[in-house]
Amino acid sequence: MAYNILLVDDDKDIREWLELDLQFSGYNVTTAADGAEGLQKAINDDYCLIVLDVMMPKIDGFTVCQNIRKIKKDIPIILLTAKGTIDDKVTGFDSGANDYLVKPFDIQELLVRMRALLRRNEPQKVVEAETLQIGEIRLYPDSLEASIASKLIKLTPTEFEILYCLMQHANQAVGYSTLLDEVWGYDADEDVRMVRVHVGCLRQKIEPNPKSPKFVKTVTNVGYKLTPFPEE
C-alpha cells in the first residue's frame, strides 16, 4: 500500500526535489506552496503523514501545525526548518509536531523518520495503551491525555509515547537508545538532544516543580526513570 503524504514548502526547488524523491520511494505525494494552502488540504483531505516547512508566507508552519491538531490529532507531522535552536524545537513540539528536521538534511534521514512515524501510527499500539495505569497516572489514547491525581493533562503525541514507554518500564532506568527505538523507531546518537527537549516539555506539564523532577527523574549518562506516583 502506498501512503498518501502532504508536502508543504514555499521553496519551489526544495518542494520539487522532495516530491520526486518521495515518489521514487513509493509515496503518493500532494504538495502545497504556502501555509494557507497546506492547512486547507490537510483539513479537507486524508493523508497518512504531513511534511511541513516552518518559515512560509501567509501562515507559518507552527500555526498550521496547531490548527491541524485541533481537528486531526493523530496524523504524524514532521516540521522542516532552517532554525535548529532548542527554543524553536520546543515551539515545534508544543505546536503538536511529532518530529523536527533542520535544513539541510539528507533525504534518507527524512525517509527513516517518516517510516518510524508511520509505524507508530498503526492502531494496535493505541489499543495496548488503553489499559495502562500506574499509581495515579492513567493514559487516555483517544484524547492524548494523562490524568495525574485526577487532573487531566493534554499531551502531544510524542509526549504521550514517551510517558507510555517510561510507564512500561516503571522504576527502571530507560536509556536514550531505548526511548529512541520505542518512541521514534530508530536510534541515532545525535538525536539524544531531541529526547531531552521532549522530556523537558513533558516535565513542564506533569511535574509540580519541573526544575526538581519528582516523577520523571534523570539517570546520569543513561536516560530517565519514572518513579511511580504514590497514592495519597
* Per-residue pLDDT band at 128 (split at 50, 70, 90): very low
Q: Where are the domains of the chain?
A: 4-121, 124-226
Q: Residue 127: is its pLDDT beyond 60?
A: no
pLDDT in tens, 200-213: 889 989 888 888 88
How far apart are alpha carbons 219 and 1 in whole angstroms? 41
Q: Are 36 and 53 in contact (CB under 8 A)?
A: no
Q: Residue 41: is its pLDDT beyond 80?
A: yes
Q: Which of 213, 131, 221, 224 is nearest to 183 (CA)?
A: 224
* Per-residue pLDDT band at 93 (split at 50, 70, 90): confident
Superfamily of domain 4-121: Response regulator (3.40.50.2300)
DSSP-assigned letters across all residues of 79-139: EEES---HHHHHHHHHTT-SEEEESS--HHHHHHHHHHHHHHTSHHHHHHHTT-EETTEEE
Say which CATH topology domain 124-226 has. Arc Repressor Mutant, subunit A (1.10.10)
- To the nearest whole percent, how much of the chain has pLDDT over 90? 38
108: left (phi over 0), alpha (psi -120 to 50) or beta: alpha
